[in-house]
A and B are shown apart, each in its own frame.
Chain A
Amino acid sequence: MSFLGQDEQIREYQFRFRYLYIGLFVAFFVLFARLWYLQIMNGDKYHTYSEENRIKGVKVTSPRGMIFDRNKHLLVDNRPAFDLEVTPQELYSDKEWKKTIHTIAQIIKMPEEEILDTLERSKGQPTFRPIKIKQDLEQDEVAKIEAHKLDLPGLNIQMEIRRTNLFGDLAAHLMGYIGEVNQTELPKLNRLVGATGVPYKMGDVTGKFGLESRMENVLRGIDGEEYMEVDALGHRKRTNKGITSGLKPKDPTPGKNLILTIDQDLQMAAQRSLEKLYGKKQIGAVIALNPKTGEILAALSQPSFDPTLFSRGVSPKLWGELLNNEYHPLRDKTLQDHYSPGSTFKTITAIAALEEKVIDENTTINCTGSFRLGNRVYHCWNKHGHGVVNIHKAIRESCDVFFYRMGQRLGIDTIAKYANMLGLGRKTGVNLAHEEMGLIPTEEWKKKRFGQEWIAGETLSCAIGQSYILTTPLQLANAYAAIGNGGLLWRPYIVKYIEDNDGRILKEFQPDLIGQAKISKQTIDIVRSGLTAVVNEPGGTTFSRRIPGIDVAGKTGSTQVIRLSADKIHTKCESMPFNVRDNGLFAAFAPPDDPVIAVAVIAEHSCHGGSGAAPVALEVIQTYLQKYMPEKYSDEAIKTRLKIASGKPIRVKAKPEPDEDEDAVRDTEIPDVVAKPAPPAAPGDTD
């Protein structure tokens, strides 16, 4: 069995085994000697270290970046939150610990049994580990506990950082919320961080929604670590001469700050006027843009939620309430929902008609209150008809019959061409999550989607912004911004610049031109004058709501939200149940000749554009003009200006006049594509 000479070699090997025994002996001798040195010779010293001088690596939390509005008003901050903790070991070392519990229960207004329960549940855990008794203590509770600290052994107040939205639920969708990194997000986040970055750990905080999530890489603060000596009870020791002196701390890297394009005064004005309209239960969206740049000046979606309540873990109860609310507080209605634009779309039909020269500014049409196509009758919202109507009057009074005729002459594809030019039917590309595309139908689209031919009657409905047409409030505002500025389509943006903690600007975002609609100046001027008349001329659909001196060009709209049976079509909107009432819309820019602001408002179930949505938009515009162009729009300036114009003093406050407000043109059929989208993603979903 053996190979040649193998035995001989094995014998040779056997000689070498003595080296192995020697090596083994030396190695273990060294180990024993070392243990002797550590445990016997220096045991006392190390024992002291471990009992009284523990070195602890303490997390130095690094603040997340703050969020400001365009005028550096603080919107989102990191504020301290205080928790009450009990260390059982210390608590029970006092004979009268029950008394301590009694006292503390009174201070934090919590039943004694509940505290005892919490303690009971954590039995089996090492007794030196603190147990959380109550989160988010009130200021006076903190003060009382601190004052009695010496009489309350084992109790400790732990400070933690809470992400705080200073304005509560205002623009919550924009700011978004944060939460702890979960198992599924961890690998995704760390891929984004890359090899050079500091990886995330479980329990770290990350943005989950809105800007907090979109701008995570900018806002994130990276925690540092410092070493300190603590005694056996975890309290920091005063001396710094001990064993830690050689350990260098790891500095925290604070997050960078975002300065938004938002103007907080505008946001508040929008919320204020929505509140006037609805009271507490507001449902709608307001969006304001700068037509010269695409900056988003205000973006509000109601109902909303308070992200502060999310920052340390959202309670299942609150989450359930938000999910089950039929008005979807978790959706950003400015861009995640699309709506029928209704009559606000007539402006686009008007532009198409003028540009395609199917009419000029003098062309008239007789509106008798209805229009027959084939064997179907299409109604105007004004049953009695508008009489002889030119384009100016048609826009001012929102005459449906006029625009039915335009639709008939243009065809859907031509209307779609102009809608697309103005950015409708596609995403604006704003740097926010889950933007809806909206929908501008064409003959080809219908064939693809439903396998059916386009019906001529559908063009009529589309011409007045109904049927398949869908836009987000953001798209609508952007389209009106483009109309106001002569055809330039900017990409809306929300972050103005990023700066570091010392106020150095790290990155400034620039306007981005994404399209240029070829519309002649003549067309723009005709449409502009029509839109101005909507607000400023008697007969205009929102004339009664105008704010004297505040020059606005805009268009109202109102749209049906559910399918109605034939007999209900003429029911008065206000007499229907709230959640099936028509939506009111208003889209505008101001001042008309050289706009500095464009606004779109949707006020759900407010019945009318003129009395529902327009007052909100007008108040936002007023706030903006008065703030940024006081030389022309301050109350004083307006008074002087109007006095000069009319020769006599006038009331600045408008008294409501007889309503010229349009109603929705209702229909028994509204297409499925208008149906409401699905509920939002669960928390923990990032975009």
Chain B
Amino acid sequence: MDEEQLKKFDWTLIVISIAIFTMGVLNLYSATFTEFVGHGLRYWQSQLIWFGLGSVVAVVIMLVHYKLLSRIAYWVYFANVFLLLLTLVAGKASLGARRWIGAGGFYIQPSEFMKLSAVLAMAKYFETERVTSGYRLRDLWLPTMLILMPVALIMLQPDLGTAMIILLTFGSMMLFIKIEKKSLLLVFTVAALTAYPVYKFGLKPYQRQRLVSFINPMSDPKGSGYNSIQSMIAIGSGQFIGKGFKKGTQSQLNFLPEHHTDFIFAVFSEEHGFMGALVLLSLYVLFFLSSLNIAYVSHDKFGTLLALGIIMIFFWHVFINTGMVCGIMPIVGVPLPFMSYGGSSLITSLIGIAILTNISNKRFMF
């Protein structure tokens, strides 16, 4: 990078992400300072190590031209699908799911990275496709297959949350690139008709339970209703200014389940109240506004689509996670970017930021 480029370097997203991440690590410390990940590491320490690793990857990605990503898009995609297959066969099982792969205490979740790989493949596919009056269903069978294949593999793990994020991202990208009205109607009709059979036969009992307990949190004997109630109590009891750092009784007394991953926002809102949540969510809003701007001003189709896809991933993560913790969405295991504990999720987020920044920096080069 020469001086010229350095001057134009877009720091916005990086600054915002680091701000959120800093709040995240402090919050993680508060939620888990009595616990260990293993190997004598605390959660917040482990999270910092992952951040370091992810930053290295991110810097590398920022240095190459993102057009290279267009060239290797399908390779990345298939490599990732292969990793998903490998996970199913030789992955590490924990708590009834087989999501991790690796060895010697170093494990990653290929499904996390699949979100980016799928978006990459989509951007690549639609880069050269051109339809003026909206896509018809028959134009979309190939990308649909490209999405359904990893989604199916992820459902098998099972990891409903990640599968859902990929589907939602795909759906919102398709809406954006415009689908013919008739086709859209057809899709919604079919979706409405198949919803019940899928609910009845396609979901595991605990997944069904979560949906039921979302509609009526008190109905659940197995405890996901309990989780939802505890989470709402945590957030509500934070009131305007919160209970203070390390003073959230709900999370400190282990009333909150998964308080370092899926329910981390509840810990934050309990300890920092409405004010804190307002600041945090505003940072996310700022993040979305600036990244949407990157997509908007990008002068090539691949860049626009890639940026949009990544934004969608972030958006659905933030919206579903905070929504479920607040009790306006069903409980699905989806992490909150830069806040939840988890190496694969953090690295994926950092890669996303790197690609967005990369697109932003290259827009003047055409």
Contacts and interface: CB of A to CB of B under 8 A. Distances in A.
19 contacts: A4-B130, A17-B292, A21-B292, A24-B289, A34-B323, A34-B327, A35-B274, A35-B278, A35-B281, A39-B269, A40-B274, A42-B236, A43-B236, A43-B238, A43-B240, A46-B235, A126-B252, A227-B226, A245-B218
B219 interface: yes
A417 B132 CA distance: 92
Contacts of B284: 28
B301 A9 contact: yes
Interface string A206-246: 00000000000000000001010000100000000001011
A62 to B, nearest CB: 16
B236 A38 contact: yes
A225 B225 CA distance: 14
A455 interface: no
A43 B292 CA distance: 34
Contacts, number: 153
Given A1-B300, A35-B269, A225-B223, A49 B237 contact: yes
B20 to A, nearest CB: 15
A12 to B, nearest CB: 8
B232 interface: yes
Nearest to A201: B95
A13 to B, nearest CB: 6
A54 B253 contact: yes
Interface string B240-282: 1000000001101101000000000000011001100110010
B82 interface: no
Interface stretch (A247-255, A336-344, A402-410, A633-641): A247-255
A34 B326 contact: yes
A594 interface: no
A278 B326 CA distance: 72
Chain A binding surface, main DSSP class: helix
A126 B323 contact: no
Contacts of A248: 220-221
A31 to B, nearest CB: 6
Given A14-B296, A247-B221, A31 B236 contact: no
B124 to A, nearest CB: 13
A43 B328 contact: no
Nearest to B128: A3
Given A28-B281, A39-B238, 15 more contacts: A2-B300, A28-B284, A31-B323, A38-B326, A39-B235, A39-B236, A39-B274, A40-B274, A43-B236, A49-B236, A50-B233, A50-B270, A54-B250, A55-B233, A246-B225
B301 to A, nearest CB: 5
B106 interface: no
A247 B226 CA distance: 8
A249 B223 CA distance: 9
B249 A249 contact: no
B222 interface: yes
B239 interface: yes
A55 B230 contact: yes
Interface string B289-315: 100100110011100100010000001
Interface of A: 1-7, 9-10, 13-14, 16-17, 19-21, 24, 27-28, 30-32, 34-36, 38-40, 42-47, 49-51, 54-57, 125-126, 128, 187, 199, 225, 227, 232, 243, 245-250
Interface of B: 34, 93, 96, 127-128, 130, 176-178, 218-223, 225-226, 229-230, 232-240, 249-250, 252-253, 255, 269-270, 273-274, 277-278, 281, 284-285, 288-289, 292, 295-296, 299-301, 304, 308, 315, 319, 322-323, 326-328, 366
Nearest to A227: B226
Contacts of A246: 218-219, 225
Nearest to B298: A10
B255 A54 contact: yes
B235 A35 contact: yes
A40 B242 CA distance: 11
A61 B8 CA distance: 64
A243 B236 CA distance: 14
Given A38-B236, A54-B255, A17 B219 contact: no
B284 to A, nearest CB: 8
A206 B218 CA distance: 33
A35 B326 contact: yes
A43 B236 CA distance: 5
B296 A17 contact: yes
A56 B295 CA distance: 47
Contacts of B253: 54, 126, 128
A246 B223 CA distance: 12
A27 B34 contact: no
Contacts of A5: 130
A50 B292 CA distance: 39
A128 B277 CA distance: 26
Given A31-B323, A247-B221, A46 B236 contact: yes
Contacts of B130: 3-6, 9
B288 A55 contact: no
A57 B315 CA distance: 33
A173 to B, nearest CB: 35
B2 to A, nearest CB: 21
Contacts of A56: 255
B251 to A, nearest CB: 10
Contact of A50 (B234, B277, B295, B326): B234
